[in-house]
Amino acid sequence: MTTTTDPIARALLDHPLLIVDGALATELEARGCDLNDSLWSARVLAETPDLIRQVHLDYFRAGADIAITSSYQATIEGYMARGMSEAEALELITRSVSLAAEARDDFWNEGGHEGRPRPLVAASVGPYGAYLADGSEYRGHYDIDEAGLVAFHRARLAALAAAGADVLACETLPSLVEAKALVTVLREFPDMSAWITFTARDGEHISEGTPIAECARWLNDQPQVAALGVNCTALEHIPSLLEQMSAVTDKPLIVYPNSGETYDATSKTWQGGCDVAHGAGFGEQAAQWYARGARLIGGCCRTTPEDIRSIAAFRAGL
């Protein structure tokens, strides 16, 4: 079930491929931020927000059509654990949207964007596991039920929707139960649409073990879900995952995988090398994903504006 009223559907009417941005944390670290912290990039929202705006601007200039906000790990509970009030936490969560919107408007005002859609702001709604900051988004099996997940996500999702985001990016989910909880909350905001993306442990199953085809089949019947797919997943699994999803859904498919390194939740560091070279190599893989049905493509952890530029180069030839 697909509609033409959500911003993703409207943009895809005139453009064969929408480009999602790349890693925010990687670029913040390159600018000197220490993100070895349970709040991760959400800490930068409070300390040096202009760096976040600059990273968004760099990705727009590289070719991104969609900026994912810095709210992935920005939760009311997480900020309050650092001594902030609920009001202060909500202000920072709202700020994540305004920073991306400001960067989008600054970029658009630069001109010279013939053939490109006006960029969208996707408000990141990270999983419960991101709040736990223990790598649970790659495992699932939380010690919380679906009703608890609905309660956890409700206030942040409401703040992001009210902040003026174009779409919600419900991302890095390890389980179908959490996706169902988010859809339940989403129904309370009938004017909002969202994409749902999972982490996957292989070419057929999301992190908690549910077949990706089962997830796609369920999400296909949810009218507010604008796109579905995977993110923060190894490059090698993407072609198979796309094939599994495309067989059971007519919604746009979205992929934004990692560069190929593996995250160590204990040390909060990345291990191993990349599966492909940055830049042209990433664009070549994007061409394969597009051929398998992906219509929104970007990068997740450890990807860079160079990778996004390579996807833009591929799109230019479509």
- Annotated binding-site residues for Zn(2+) read 232, 300-301
Question: Rounded to an integer, what is the distance from CA 93 to the centroid of its chain?
Answer: 16
- Rounded Cα distance, 191 and 178, in Å: 21
**Cα-to-chain-centroid distance, residue 121:** 11
Task: Classify 270 as helix, strand or coil.
Answer: strand
Tokens of 169: 């990016």
How far lies 258's CA from each of 85, 132, 223, 240, 312, in Å?
A: 34, 21, 28, 16, 18
- Residue 199: exposure state from Cβ atoms within 10 A (0-12, 13-18, ≥19): buried
Cα separation, 318 vs 315, whole angstroms: 5
Can you tell me the distance from the alpha carbon of 119 to that of 108, in angstroms, rounded to the nearest whole number?
A: 8
- 12, two tokens: 């895809």
Tokens representing 27? Answer: 């670029």
Is residue 73 a contact partner of residue 40, using CB atoms and an 8 Å limit? Answer: yes
* Numbers of helices and strands, H then E, in the chain: 13, 10
Closest CA to 75 of 63, 66, 88, 64: 88
Q: 123 forms bridges with which residues in the sheet?
A: 168
Q: Which residues are annotated as a binding site?
A: 232, 300-301
Greatest CA separation for the chain: 51
Contact 71, 160 (CB under 8 A): yes
The two tokens of residue 219 are 């999400």
